[in-house]
């Protein structure tokens, strides 16, 4: 019987045709899934990078805002090198203080003598003091009843017609030391402890003492100089910024380091937490910040041009060719520049950071604080290997923290190179020092 061509056309696919069609469909599906997986992975990575950058911005914002206010109220930038009971030289100052590349076993304690919290080994601890967040209260130096050796009276209404808000002083539990600046000389100041506060929105009376009642005594609180009359008063504050090491379990259940940028609020000048509450020693500000490095920009005598005169502001007219705030290009060259804390060979006790040779009458001035924070993503990427931290060939430094040596070399292990990292750096121009 002859075949029907129409029935043959309606018989469907052959087995070979079906297999070829399925193979093509599978290949298209695999390609689509691969593209989806790549884009999904890129989206996860980008989200982690965004979170890291946001953490860096949050960390820098708080530190920069506070550091810019350092010394407000009349606290000067005086420095001395302290080697007592610590493992690294410590540049102690009044308005700004830096513990450089702390090591385990003492100087990593945020509050010396208190075991916890501690800072990540190899990182810096930045201390800032001054009237950082409150008001500067104006005094009436012509009224002898407003200030005595035991009382300080601050009024809302002033003789010049201005008024000031006293709400900060009336907050429950207010006990911050008071920084008083002389009405005669901006360079003269005293610090008083507050025993009690009484008053209202019109006038507040603080009972004060110039003999510290703390144990050990607060070194900032000293005897009242004869004839001192305050022109301004404010609540003195102190904050310490540091990297706090914490550990968490990752997606595989393995324990990994998860460092945080933290802030401690202290009783200014002491190793005691604000309100003597240990909770004030560790306020976490940002996640996955694993290094904090601080460099200080001074007016030094280091000569960058071979002119025989120190750099930056050291010549007679302050306008000569040597008025350069300069920095070396590598770790060796940075040991003799205007920045302290940016070279592994920097010596905080060097006279260049204390005395100007060109003009002895003009003391070395602190101009800038440079804050560097290094952050990383929260999760590792097994297909990624991070580059070195320093682009200079043959070295790997963030300021003077050597990532080719312990303890920072921990972050260059194969597992830690699977984290992406970013560096954020801000130069703070000090406005009150």
The stretch 336-365 carries a mean pLDDT of: 81
* Residue pointed to by tokens 């990593």: 108
Given a cut of 80, whether residue 79 has pLDDT beyond it is no
More confident residue, 9 or 346: 346
Convert the pLDDT of each residue in 7-38 to its tens digit: 555 566 787 877 887 888 888 888 877 776 66
CA quadruple 262, 116, 79, 366: dihedral, nearest 10:
-10
Q: In angstroms, rounded to a whole number, what is the distance separating the alpha carbons of residues 191 and 326?
A: 36
* Residue pointed to by tokens 């009242």: 224
Given a cut of 60, whether residue 94 has pLDDT beyond it is yes
The stretch 336-352 carries a mean pLDDT of: 88
Q: How confident is the model at residue 393 (pLDDT cuts 50, 70, 90)?
A: confident
How confident is the prediction for the chain on average, in pLDDT?
86
* Residue pointed to by tokens 């003799």: 336
Nearest to 206 by CA among 170, 238, 158, 162: 170
Domain extent listing, the chain: 137-235
Which structure tokens are listed for 12?
């469907």
Q: In angstroms, rounded to a whole number, what is the distance separating the alpha carbons of residues 244 and 108?
A: 10
The stretch 272-291 carries a mean pLDDT of: 94
pLDDT at 338: 87
Q: In angstroms, rounded to a whole number, what is the distance separating the alpha carbons of residues 265 and 95?
A: 15
């Amino acid at each position: 019987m002859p075949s029907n061509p129409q029935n043959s056309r309606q018989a469907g696919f052959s087995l070979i045709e079906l297999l070829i069609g399925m193979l093509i469909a599978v290949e298209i599906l695999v390609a689509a899934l691969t593209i989806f997986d790549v884009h999904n992975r890129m989206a996860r990575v980008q989200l982690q990078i965004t979170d890291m950058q946001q953490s860096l911005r949050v960390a820098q914002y708080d530190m920069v805002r506070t550091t810019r206010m350092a010394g407000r109220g009349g606290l000067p930038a005086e420095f001395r090198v302290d080697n007592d009971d610590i493992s690294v030289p410590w540049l102690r100052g009044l308005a700004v203080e830096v513990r450089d590349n702390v090591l385990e076993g003492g100087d990593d304690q945020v509050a010396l003598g208190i075991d916890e919290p501690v800072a990540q080994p190899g990182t810096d601890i930045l201390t800032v003091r001054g009237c950082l967040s409150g008001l500067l209260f104006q005094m009436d130096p012509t009224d002898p009843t407003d200030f005595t050796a035991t009382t300080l009276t601050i009024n809302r209404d002033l003789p010049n017609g201005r008024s000031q808000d006293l709400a900060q002083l009336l907050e429950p539990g207010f006990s911050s030391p008071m920084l008083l600046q002389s009405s005669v000389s901006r360079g003269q100041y005293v610090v008083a402890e507050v025993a009690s506060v009484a008053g209202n929105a019109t006038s507040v009376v603080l009972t004060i003492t110039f003999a510290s009642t703390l144990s050990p005594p607060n070194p900032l609180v000293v005897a009242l100089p004869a004839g001192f009359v305050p022109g301004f008063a404010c609540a003195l504050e102190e904050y310490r910024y540091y990297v706090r090491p914490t550990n968490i379990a990752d997606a595989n259940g393995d324990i990994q380091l998860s460092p945080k940028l933290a802030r401690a609020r202290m009783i200014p000048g002491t190793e005691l937490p604000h309100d003597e509450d240990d909770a004030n020693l560790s306020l976490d500000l940002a996640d996955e910040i694993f290094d904090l490095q601080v460099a200080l920009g001074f007016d030094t005598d280091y000569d960058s041009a071979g002119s025989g005169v120190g750099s930056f502001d050291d010549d007679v007219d302050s306008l000569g060719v040597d008025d350069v705030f300069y920095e070396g290009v590598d770790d060796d060259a940075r040991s003799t520049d205007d920045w302290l804390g940016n070279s592994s060979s920097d010596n905080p006790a060097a006279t260049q950071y204390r005395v100007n040779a060109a003009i002895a009458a003009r003391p070395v001035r602190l101009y800038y604080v440079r804050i560097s924070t290094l952050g990383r993503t929260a999760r590792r990427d097994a297909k990624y290997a991070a580059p070195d931290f320093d682009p200079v060939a043959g070295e790997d430094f963030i300021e003077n923290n050597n990532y080719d040596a312990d303890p920072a070399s921990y972050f260059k292990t194969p597992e830690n190179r699977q984290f992406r990292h970013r560096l954020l750096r801000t130069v703070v121009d000090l406005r009150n020092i």
